[in-house]
């Protein structure tokens, strides 16, 4: 296509490109700008672009985590700071768990022929589409009455790991298939046992796949609201839950809420810019190998 | 001994995954199916709940609010997937050329999908705000009447659709662009030599060749559209009235506000069946395409 298109530099295409970039970044930029505004600036009719930026909203949200006293905050509300710590712990631990367990399972499904293999891979496929809304009632019931782990970080980690596992297993399969089996056979000849072969030979080769899987898993655990809301108590609330809780019908403190939203959005934004290639590979593998 | 260890190896690799899936995913799903036959509220243990047979299900189909929310869900999914497919594929066909800046576009296009749905809802709720929102401000500065984005039933549905289109059109764009760029160059060359115009090229060569990927993409998107919850929760919380109350939201409200867990479980079950059908459709479509590709390959080899 490209070779046949010497007129590709048509300015209309660049205009379209710029418009699309503007449209997808615009709302995010607007949120960023609002998070640096005082409420008077948000409410005023003057232009949205000229204002005196302030980090007050961030100070209000993070007041108990700062090393200095914030004088404009009369009563410090530690909810958000605590939620940020919870979110970080829950998302990181469940991502690590999911990856380790998921790639072991994916390896077994790709490289071994054994009884029950088809059942396992069919089950993971079916479990892939179970949405949080469907899990809401049973997980609430079981976590509260049977496991007794409601209101703990462990409870959240367990359900997020389980929710992400089918997807991770399935996406890593497509990466493990591409590892030349001769490498594994060579390792086996040199006397490595299956676990050594897996951890020392296969894992280093599927790093891009692991990166993609890690990002998708982290994203789900970091962003999830519904189950977090049902399971967490005051001390184990995650950031999405606190944000929704602070949304009231009237009189929303837009500046502070946008600052918290921005803090929630920062890790995924960083991942996007650092690893966009892996993300796209992961997404494409998802559709092509449906 | 060695043979024995070998036979156990796959099970050792699988054990942790199977344990977690069984404890935290399969058991809950089975539990939910059982709960859908119970009259159960959150203060009871499940053993204390009364068995009511199919009553929850029969009630569902005479429950106007549920039917309304089912209708909203189906309408939302249909509209959103159609609009996003047309826009996404259209843009991919248009921008399938060597432009500087394509990498930036692709990176930036992932952003809406990566950030939390809660935050997406927040951003749009702010933009739709009747007085401080940028949309009504822009309308006002152009001398037009403000639009009741989220406070009028019809508009609220449109607003929710717009937010979803903003968030997910890039997904379809990226996938169809990848599909386009992996099409065999020879087919395109041949058509061009035969004198096909740009439009003919698109409708008779590109789209048919992309079709398998497009169908899978549409199905993936459809499955996701039935799962949407947080964006709408933050923007409208299902209102005004029931105009944007999609099924996932209805389930969550039935469980937490009306405290009828059995009834919510029955709804969850229906949603699950719906998603299961779509997933199976996708799975078997993939199988059929694989089989067809294998057959064509075999025939080609025979011909040689």
Of all residues in chain A, the one with the smallest CA distance to B141 is: A45
List own/partner pairs for A38-47 with CB under 8 A and 24 or more apart: A38/A255, A39/A253, A39/A254, A39/A255, A42/A254, A42/A255, A42/B132, A43/B131, A43/B132, A45/B137
- Helical segments of chain B, H only: 2-21, 27-35, 55-60, 64-94, 102-114, 117-127, 134-141, 153-181, 185-193, 198-200, 207-227, 230-235, 247-256, 261-303
Whole-number pLDDT of residue B209:
84
> How distant is the Cα of A40 from the closest Cα of chain B, in angstroms?
11
A168 and A99 in contact (C-beta within 8 Å)? yes
Please name which of A111, A119, A89, A238 lies closest in space to residue A181, comparing C-alpha atoms.
A111
User: What average pLDDT does this structure show over B155-177?
Assistant: 89
- Helical segments of A62-129, H only: 79-111, 117-127
Q: Do A131 and B192 touch (CB under 8 A)?
A: no
Domains in chain B, ordered, with CATH? 34-40+48-303 (1.10.3720.10)
Q: Considering only CB atoms, which chain B residues are within 8 Å of A289? A: 286
Q: How far apart are CA A179 and CA A208, in angstroms?
A: 12
**Residue A87: Cβ within 10 Å count:** 26
Whole-number pLDDT of residue A290:
40
Q: What is the pLDDT along chain A (290 residues), one digit of tens a residue?
A: 444 444 456 788 888 888 888 888 888 888 888 888 777 777 766 555 667 777 777 877 777 777 676 666 666 777 788 888 889 999 999 999 999 999 888 888 888 887 777 888 777 777 777 888 888 888 888 888 888 887 888 888 999 999 889 888 888 888 888 888 888 888 888 888 888 888 888 888 888 888 888 988 998 889 888 888 888 888 888 888 888 888 876 667 788 888 888 888 898 889 888 888 888 888 777 665 54
Residue B165 pLDDT level (bands cut at 50, 70, 90): very high
- Count Cβ neighbours within 10 Å for each residue of A124-142 and write b for 16 or more, e otherwise: bbbbbbbbbbbbbbbbbbb
Chain B CB within 8 Å of residue A138 CB: yes
Q: How far apart are CA B217 and CA B210, in angstroms?
A: 11
A positions 156-175 inside 8 Å of B (CB): 158-159, 161-163, 165-166, 169
> How distant is the Cα of A67 from the closest Cα of chain B, in angstroms?
27
Q: Do B275 and A131 touch (CB under 8 A)?
A: yes
Please name which of A236, A55, A252, B130 lies closest in space to residue A244, comparing C-alpha atoms.
A252
First vs last C-alpha separation in chain A: 27
Annotated domain spans of chain A? 79-288
> How distant is the Cα of B28 from the closest Cα of chain A, in angstroms?
5
Whole-number pLDDT of residue B2:
39
Q: How far apart are CA A89 and CA A228, in angstroms?
A: 13
Of all residues in chain A, the one with the smallest CA distance to B2 is: A193
Whole-number pLDDT of residue A6:
45
Q: Does domain A79-288 have CATH number 2.130.10.30?
A: no
Whole-number pLDDT of residue A134:
85
Beta bridge partners of B206: none
Q: Do B28 and A120 touch (CB under 8 A)?
A: no
Whole-number pLDDT of residue A81:
83
Residue B82 has pLDDT above 60, yes or no: yes
Chain A CB within 8 Å of residue B8 CB: no
- Helical segments of chain A, H only: 11-35, 39-43, 56-61, 79-111, 117-127, 132-141, 153-176, 181-189, 194-196, 203-205, 207-223, 226-231, 239-245, 254-288
pLDDT greater at residue B35 or residue A48: B35
Whole-number pLDDT of residue B3:
41
Partner residue opposite B223 with nearest CB, options A2, A20, A129? A129
Whole-number pLDDT of residue B151:
78
Structural tokens at position B224:
């996701």
Q: Do B104 and A21 touch (CB under 8 A)?
A: yes
A61 and A75 in contact (C-beta within 8 Å)? no
Q: State chain A's maximal CA–CA distance in angstroms.
A: 75
Whole-number pLDDT of residue B304:
67
Partner residue opposite A254 with nearest CB, options B126, B247, B249? B126
């Amino acid at each position: 296509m490209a070779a046949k298109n010497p007129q590709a530099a048509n300015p209309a295409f660049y205009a379209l490109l710029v418009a699309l970039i503007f449209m997808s970044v615009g709302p995010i930029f607007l949120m960023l700008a609002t998070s640096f505004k005082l409420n008077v600036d948000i409410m005023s009719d003057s232009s949205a672009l000229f204002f005196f930026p302030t980090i007050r909203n961030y100070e209000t949200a993070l007041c108990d985590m700062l090393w200095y006293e914030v004088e404009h905050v009369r009563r410090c509300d530690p909810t958000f700071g605590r939620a940020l710590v919870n979110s970080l712990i829950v998302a990181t631990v469940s991502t690590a768990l999911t990856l380790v367990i998921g790639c072991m399972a994916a390896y077994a499904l790709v490289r071994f022929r054994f009884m029950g293999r088809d059942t396992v891979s069919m089950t993971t496929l079916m479990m892939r589409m179970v949405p949080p809304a469907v899990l809401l009632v049973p997980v609430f019931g079981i976590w509260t009455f049977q496991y007794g782990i409601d209101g703990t970080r462990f409870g959240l980690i367990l359900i997020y790991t389980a929710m992400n596992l089918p997807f991770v297993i399935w996406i890593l399969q497509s990466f493990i298939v591409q590892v030349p089996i001769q490498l594994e056979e060579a390792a086996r000849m040199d006397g490595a046992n299956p676990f050594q072969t897996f951890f020392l030979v296969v894992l280093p080769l599927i790093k891009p796949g692991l990166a993609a899987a890690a990002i998708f898993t982290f994203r789900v655990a970091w962003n999830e609201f519904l189950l977090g809301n049902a399971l967490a108590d005051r001390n184990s609330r995650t950031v999405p839950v606190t944000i929704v809780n602070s949304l009231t019908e009237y009189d929303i403190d837009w500046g502070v809420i946008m600052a918290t939203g921005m803090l929630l959005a920062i890790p995924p934004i960083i991942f996007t810019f650092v690893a966009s290639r892996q993300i796209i590979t992961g997404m494409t593998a998802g559709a092509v190998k449906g | 001994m060695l043979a024995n260890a070998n036979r156990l190896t796959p099970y050792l690799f699988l054990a942790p995954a199977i344990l977690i899936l069984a404890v935290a995913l399969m058991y809950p799903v089975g539990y939910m199916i059982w709960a859908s036959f119970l009259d159960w509220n959150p203060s009871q243990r499940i053993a204390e709940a009364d068995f009511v047979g199919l009553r929850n299900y029969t009630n569902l189909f005479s429950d106007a609010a549920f039917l309304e929310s089912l209708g909203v869900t189906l309408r939302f999914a249909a509209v959103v997937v159609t609009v996003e497919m047309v826009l996404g594929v259209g843009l991919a066909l248009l921008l399938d050329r060597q432009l500087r800046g394509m990498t930036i576009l692709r990176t930036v296009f992932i952003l809406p999908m990566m950030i939390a749905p809660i935050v997406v809802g927040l951003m749009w709720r702010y933009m739709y705000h009747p007085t401080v929102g940028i949309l009504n401000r822009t309308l006002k500065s152009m001398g037009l009447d403000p639009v009741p984005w989220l406070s009028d039933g019809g508009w609220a549905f449109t607003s929710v659709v717009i937010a979803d289109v903003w968030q997910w059109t890039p997904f379809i764009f990226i996938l169809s662009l990848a599909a386009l760029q992996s099409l065999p160059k020879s087919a395109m060359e041949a058509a061009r030599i035969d004198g096909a115009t740009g439009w003919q090229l698109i409708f008779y060569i590109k789209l048919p060749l992309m079709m398998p990927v497009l169908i899978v993409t549409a199905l993936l998107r459809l499955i996701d559209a039935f799962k949407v919850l947080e964006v709408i929760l933050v923007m409208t919380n299902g209102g005004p009235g029931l105009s944007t109350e999609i099924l996932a939201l209805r389930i969550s409200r039935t469980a937490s506000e009306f405290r009828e867990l059995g009834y919510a479980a029955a709804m969850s079950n229906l949603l699950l069946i719906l998603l299961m059908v779509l997933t199976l459709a996708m799975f078997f479509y993939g199988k059929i395409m694989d089989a067809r590709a294998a057959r064509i390959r075999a025939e080609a080899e025979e011909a040689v």
